[in-house]
Structure 1
């Protein structure tokens, strides 16, 4: 599928980042090269992707300027997931919502990420706006996330196959924690295959993808993780190569539903 007559393709890529090397980055992180909205829009369109979810990368901390600026370029078309601290004002949250932000990212993998204390402080304000909480976490942290979300009124969105890497066995406690999160209305992003101890074409993850799909039902979205910061800037995987595992594991019809589901989660 490709765009024609200036129509916007209907599919969603629910996990991309934008970078500008001129923008201040936190010390100790990689130095990003320019990766902007026009570049990812052009890469995504041939796969029928016309809507993007811009996720704040750890390199920019709580400075969401690039995401908000990018969202303002295409009013109503794309969505954002930001990183904020507990001092964020209601006016700032409302402005973010107006621009298309629908979630806040919490990071239990990187030391710069928000944790449980910030979740408890922010949860009522996020729930009041109908936002969700996106977690970048390891598989052994899923039970902690389920405890936090119990009674919070917030849906959890779990990055990168909920951290369920290829070494996770069938009887690992993480699967029970995922089932509990599913009962709370959680979503999972089918993304970040190369962060899960897997190499292209990622067929070693097919069984995990199918089990996650069985557990979560329709609450699955796909994300490319573009521009693939785990790779050198001049050696990025082809955009479509990180979509193909969804089709191969779930089949064409189910994969099409996953590609469209961002319209529900990010409404």
Structure 2
């Protein structure tokens, strides 16, 4: 795959994948990832028409983005990245990452080794957001949130006071059991109105099982709010599953195929990610 020319790369984008190196150190108290190199997901995604990938830093590597950055180098400009960083990172490092294809910083409020909104000694996601926002805005980057529905009002308030774009992982956490009157819906409307994006991904993280029909209404509501600002991601290699029981790649696209119009589907896999990760 690495020898493929640009002309032979399929045009669509898988906007949420992870890569893992079995030799890399991982955080304790969380899962131990299997070896999942870039070449594996490139081959799989390309076979389904997705030639461009967005590599998202997994929580097990903390702020050490070495595996992701090495994969971006190997991708030779075809892919983009979203990293996890300490506020102390210097501008030279940010610019070097930008040159490799990094376009966002992720806050993970769900993982047991992820971030907390409020942390001790100024180490929470709120503090990091305020420290990063002006620098991200200058680079044209966004903030990607993996959050629970109850976090969305706080996230909406943060972005109301900052022009840095928000990208919401995994259908913004809108799980199948979320009541219609939940405050998350109002927060989501506010975020969408301010130009936020949503990832159509991670269905099995939302109290749903394949083929995920229980999420169809939530997907429709999200589509009404976010319109052209939706991107799709497979969430490969599906770290919530045993290595020998992974969801089928095509199955993670199936809800999009079922719910969205042809124009919406094409936009979510081509034009929207090309714009977001330009």
| TM-score greater than 0.5 by the shorter chain | yes
Cα deviation for residue 6 of structure 1 reads 6.0
Match of 2:264 among 241, 250, 254: 254
Query: Using the alignment, how far apart are the partners of 2:206 and 2:193 within structure 1?
Result: 24
Task: Report deviation, 1:83.
Answer: 0.1
Cα distance in 2 for residues equivalent to 1:148 and 1:69 = 32
Per the TM alignment, residue 253 of structure 1 is displaced from its structure 2 partner at its CA by: 2.9
**CA distance in 1 between partners of 2:233 and 2:175 (Å):** 16
C-alpha distance in structure 2 between counterparts of 1:181 and 1:135, whole Å: 12
2:41 and 2:219 map into 1 onto residues whose CA distance is: 25
Deviation at 1:122, TM superposition (A): 1.1
TM-score (norm 1): 0.96
CA distance in 1, matches of 2:110, 2:245: 24
Counterpart of 1:242?
A: 252
Stretch moving more, 69-78 or 129-138: 69-78
Within the alignment, does 1:134 sit opposite 2:144 as a pair? yes
1:47-196 equivalent positions in 2, closer than 5 A: 47-114=48-115, 115-196=125-206
Deviations 1:107-163 (A, max 9, x none): 111243341111111111111100000000001111100111123120000000000
CA distance in 2, matches of 1:119, 1:157: 13
Q: Give the Cα–Cα distance (whole angstroms) in 1 for the partners of residues 234 and 97 of structure 2.
A: 23
Q: Deviations over 1:25-63 (max 9, x none)?
A: 111121111101110011111221000000000000000
Indicate the residue corresponding to 2:227 in structure 1.
217
RMSD: 1.5
- Runs (5+) with no aligned partner, structure 1: none
Determine the C-alpha separation between the residues in 1 that align with 2:18 and 2:231.
16
Q: Secondary structure at the match of 2:8?
A: coil
Distance in 1 (CA, whole Å) between partners of 2:252 and 2:5 is 24
In structure 2, how many angstroms separate the alpha carbons of the residues matched to 1:35 and 1:111? 22
CA positional deviation for 1:64: 0.1
Provide the C-alpha distance between the structure 1 equivalents of 2:6 and 2:145, rounded to a whole number of angstroms.
38
Measure the CA separation in 2 of the matches of 1:110 and 1:203: 25
| Equivalence for 2:275 | 264
For the 8 Å contact 2:152–2:184, the answer to whether it is kept is yes
- The alignment covers a number of residue pairs equal to 265
Q: Distance in 1 between matches of 2:79 and 2:47?
A: 17
Q: Which moves more between the two structures, 30-39 or 113-122?
A: 113-122
